[in-house]
Chains A and B, each alone.
Chain A
Amino acid sequence: MKSMLSRYILQGRTVFLSCALAIFAFMLLRVWSITLLGSEEFREIIKHFKDFEKFSPVPFSQLITYTGRVARTFNEPIVLFVVLIWTISRGSDTVAGQLNRGTMEMLLGNPVSRRCVYWSQFLVTTVGTLALASLAWLGMVVSVHLNTVQEVIKPPTLEIPFVPLEIPLSTAEPTIVEKPMSDFVDVMDFLPALTIIFAMGVFVAGFSSMISSFDRYRWRAVGIAVGFVILQQTMRILAISKPEYNYLLNFTFFNPFDPEGLVNVFNEDYEQYWQFWQYGMQGTIRLSGLGCHGILLGFGLLCYLIGSWRFSRRDLPAPI
């Protein structure tokens, strides 16, 4: 087992280091970019995109806060892309990759069980996924502690009830103060983003490994896994664009993969976060923290189990 683990670590090392660097640097820069635009300016911009609020996993009122904006960074395509590269590359290598390269036969010529080969890959891929998700979070933490934000402090005003009018109580000009970003953001609030990225990674790695167990060509396993991800994303877009396709949300893993939404629930309603379901204002039911994680991890592990079952029973084709 130890030899197998070191073999797979060595094999995945380059991809992992590239992904780790990319995700950490991206989060560092992306969170820094938030500081370039004050909350007030951001509120002004986002007002013009009210029609697109339905595409946002959280209400715009949440999105304009620093917490909401930082949570958004975990749902950026680059974060998703990096995690997908790692999980699909390692998952597809589990069986098909080694068969494709012809190295499986040499390996299984030794007293090594197929389960050991399979689950060693699982362990390395899973730990790597957790490390990548943690690095995304760590990049955010470092950036939050390194950066400052400018806040505009307006002179006190008096709001007239029922009339959209504010009467200044002072003639002083608004003042701009610079504060550490950490004053506005608690980094621990984003732990749900870390864990849901990890859970999504486990799901995609499990799916890729399962496909890999049925195939002998790695390129085909990668193609199927990438095609599946694109299809799932298309289903999500379709579901939130047209109400009549809303049911498609039940069939896409991008529904439970909702870092912004989970950060929101985690902070707004901690008790609710630990439920499987949560109820919306119109009586709608959607997955809560436990549900999102449970679905992704559960299906990911199920895929892994199916893959293991298949691999332990299949004929090993001779190297091509």
Chain B
Amino acid sequence: MAFVETYQLSKSFGSFTALNKCSLKIEQGSVFGLLGPNGAGKSTLIRLLMGFMTPSEGHAQISGLDCHRQSLQVRQLTSYLPGDARLDRQYRGKQVLKLFTGLRSDGSLQQALEMADYLELDLRRKVGSMSTGMRQKLAVTIALANQAPLIILDEPTANLDPTVRQQILGLLRRKRDEGKTILFSSHILEEVESISDTVAFLKHGEMITTADLSTLRNNHRVTGTISGIFPAIPDSLTEQIKIIEKDGTNLTFEITGDILNALTWLQSTGIDNISIEPARLRSLYEEIHPERQEMEV
């Protein structure tokens, strides 16, 4: 049985459907990335898993517990970082850590202090006088300073500079190595790609597809130019070669699996200026969201 499972999970606000019949499964110990532009339904899905809202349809389970009806038990198994994490501004950093670790039986102030030290947080400062990035680091520390088997993070690296992003990703890798299950959403394809085992793409509240990144990493993207007419792809390679884009004489292909046979054939077609790069999430993302190719990478 999957550790996290949703079935036909939907949430509507009046006539607006924020999430529509979303079904997914996340295995224990895996890292699951949620991708999608603003308003795709990522946060709604996460907030439904946390039991903050009643589903309009369908259900969600974490470790066999119903996320809505058994929300308290679910939250005992879950450590959560909201997309817009806000903390009481009048507290000092250390007070906040003390308060939040005190709320959990598995919370550890010692672990939180070590993590804060790693992230170079000044815990003497009041939350109100911290920069946005520092507040985010503090919130991440709160979310990770416990032993919950499931970690749910809604855009954990938003508002952070590249160095701190890497530090946070490092912390997540450490948690993954400890066997924790991680579900996180992000706009940044590169970081999702670097840490996730599986990714899911959401668009307009619907789950468009899920992709296994180990499979995706076997794919390549090939671009080149052709002066004449491009011949038909032989039957033996139709499964393997897919034309992604044709712009005048420029062609872009995606090659699945072993690249050698496909390249040999491509060379025979007279294509010049061939460049090969591993297929990235970006290519998959652009297929799903062709209108959003300017998205941050």
CB neighbours of A113 from chain B (8 A): 72
CB neighbours of A6 from chain B (8 A): 99
Could you tell me the distance between the alpha carbons of A111 and B102 in the complex, rounded to whole angstroms?
11
CB neighbours of A4 from chain B (8 A): 103
CB neighbours of B80 from chain A (8 A): 109-110
Interface membership of B126, Cβ < 8 A: no
Asked whether, in the complex, the Cβ of A106 is within 8 Å of the Cβ of B142, the reply is: yes
Q: Mark B75-111, 1 if CB is under 8 A from A, else 0.
A: 1101111111111101100010001101111000000
Q: How far, in Å, is A178 (CB) from chain B's closest CB?
A: 49
Asked whether, in the complex, the Cβ of B86 is within 8 Å of the Cβ of A109, the reply is: no
Cβ < 8 Å to B, chain A residues 1-33? 2-4, 6-7, 10-11
CB neighbours of A106 from chain B (8 A): 82, 85-87, 100, 139, 142
Q: Mark A99-123, 1 if CB is under 8 A from B, else 0.
A: 0011101111111110000000000
Instruction: Name which of A240-248, A289-297, A312-320 contacts chain B.
Output: A312-320
Q: How far, in Å, is B196 (CB) from chain A's closest CB?
A: 21
CB neighbours of A7 from chain B (8 A): 88, 99
Smallest CB gap from B73: residue in A: A111
CB neighbours of B47 from chain A (8 A): 316, 318
Interface membership of B185, Cβ < 8 A: no
Interface membership of B143, Cβ < 8 A: yes
Asked whether, in the complex, the Cβ of A102 is within 8 Å of the Cβ of B52, the reply is: no
Q: How far, in Å, is B18 (CB) from chain A's closest CB?
A: 10
Name the residue among A3, A105, A111 with the largest chain B CB count within 10 angstroms.
A111
Asked whether, in the complex, the Cβ of B139 is within 8 Å of the Cβ of A110, the reply is: no
Could you tell me the distance between the alpha carbons of A102 and B69 in the complex, rounded to whole angstroms?
23
CB neighbours of A10 from chain B (8 A): 90-91, 95
Asked whether, in the complex, the Cβ of B50 is within 8 Å of the Cβ of A109, the reply is: yes
Interface membership of B2, Cβ < 8 A: no
Asked whether, in the complex, the Cβ of A110 is within 8 Å of the Cβ of B83, the reply is: no
Cβ < 8 Å to A, chain B residues 31-59? 43, 47, 50, 52-54
- Of B53, B72, B82, B84, the residue contacting A109 (CB under 8 A) is B82
Could you tell me the distance between the alpha carbons of A108 and B105 in the complex, rounded to whole angstroms?
15
Could you tell me the distance between the alpha carbons of A316 and B53 in the complex, rounded to whole angstroms?
6
Smallest CB gap from A11: residue in B: B88
Asked whether, in the complex, the Cβ of A315 is within 8 Å of the Cβ of B85, the reply is: no
Given the known interface contacts A106-B82, A108-B75, the answer about A318 and B43 at a Cβ–Cβ threshold of 8 Å is yes
- Of B72, B90, B95, the residue contacting A111 (CB under 8 A) is B72
- Of B54, B86, B100, the residue contacting A102 (CB under 8 A) is B86
- Of B52, B72, B76, the residue contacting A315 (CB under 8 A) is B52
Cβ < 8 Å to A, chain B residues 93-141? 95, 99-100, 102-105, 139
Q: How far, in Å, is B271 (CB) from chain A's closest CB?
A: 49
Asked whether, in the complex, the Cβ of B102 is within 8 Å of the Cβ of A3, the reply is: yes
Asked whether, in the complex, the Cβ of B52 is within 8 Å of the Cβ of A316, the reply is: yes
Asked whether, in the complex, the Cβ of A109 is within 8 Å of the Cβ of B99, the reply is: no
Could you tell me the distance between the alpha carbons of A290 and B85 in the complex, rounded to whole angstroms?
47
Could you tell me the distance between the alpha carbons of A106 and B85 in the complex, rounded to whole angstroms?
6
- Of A2, A103, A316, A319, the residue contacting B102 (CB under 8 A) is A2
Asked whether, in the complex, the Cβ of A108 is within 8 Å of the Cβ of B91, the reply is: no
Asked whether, in the complex, the Cβ of B53 is within 8 Å of the Cβ of A315, the reply is: yes
Asked whether, in the complex, the Cβ of A110 is within 8 Å of the Cβ of B53, the reply is: no
- Of A102, A315, A316, the residue contacting B84 (CB under 8 A) is A102
Could you tell me the distance between the alpha carbons of A3 and B104 in the complex, rounded to whole angstroms?
10
Q: How far, in Å, is B78 (CB) from chain A's closest CB?
A: 8
Asked whether, in the complex, the Cβ of B86 is within 8 Å of the Cβ of A319, the reply is: yes
Could you tell me the distance between the alpha carbons of A6 and B142 in the complex, rounded to whole angstroms?
18
Asked whether, in the complex, the Cβ of A318 is within 8 Å of the Cβ of B83, the reply is: yes
Asked whether, in the complex, the Cβ of B88 is within 8 Å of the Cβ of A319, the reply is: no
Q: How far, in Å, is B11 (CB) from chain A's closest CB?
A: 9
CB neighbours of A107 from chain B (8 A): 103
- Of A103, A109, A316, the residue contacting B81 (CB under 8 A) is A109
CB neighbours of A315 from chain B (8 A): 52-54
Q: How far, in Å, is B194 (CB) from chain A's closest CB?
A: 25
Asked whether, in the complex, the Cβ of B88 is within 8 Å of the Cβ of A111, the reply is: no
Could you tell me the distance between the alpha carbons of A106 and B88 in the complex, rounded to whole angstroms?
10
Q: How far, in Å, is B2 (CB) from chain A's closest CB?
A: 22
Given the known interface contacts A318-B43, A319-B82, the answer about A3 and B99 at a Cβ–Cβ threshold of 8 Å is yes
CB neighbours of B105 from chain A (8 A): 111
Asked whether, in the complex, the Cβ of A319 is within 8 Å of the Cβ of B87, the reply is: no
Could you tell me the distance between the alpha carbons of A4 and B82 in the complex, rounded to whole angstroms?
19
Could you tell me the distance between the alpha carbons of A7 and B73 in the complex, rounded to whole angstroms?
23
CB neighbours of A2 from chain B (8 A): 102
Q: How far, in Å, is B82 (CB) from chain A's closest CB?
A: 4
Could you tell me the distance between the alpha carbons of A14 and B52 in the complex, rounded to whole angstroms?
31
Q: How far, in Å, is A289 (CB) from chain B's closest CB?
A: 41
Q: How far, in Å, is A262 (CB) from chain B's closest CB?
A: 39
CB neighbours of B103 from chain A (8 A): 3-4, 107, 110-112
Could you tell me the distance between the alpha carbons of A205 and B228 in the complex, rounded to whole angstroms?
81
* Contacts from A to B (Cβ < 8 Å): 2-4, 6-7, 10-11, 101-103, 105-113, 313, 315-316, 318-319
Extra contacts, 20 of them, besides A109-B82, A110-B103, A110-B104 (Cβ < 8 A), are A3-B103, A4-B103, A6-B99, A7-B99, A10-B90, A10-B91, A103-B87, A103-B88, A105-B82, A106-B82, A106-B87, A107-B103, A108-B50, A110-B80, A111-B72, A111-B73, A113-B72, A313-B54, A319-B82, A319-B84
* Contacts from B to A (Cβ < 8 Å): 43, 47, 50, 52-54, 72-73, 75-76, 78-88, 90-91, 95, 99-100, 102-105, 139, 142-143
A/B interface sample: 14 pairs, CB < 8 A: A7-B88, A7-B99, A10-B95, A101-B86, A101-B88, A103-B88, A105-B85, A106-B142, A107-B103, A109-B78, A109-B81, A111-B72, A111-B104, A315-B54
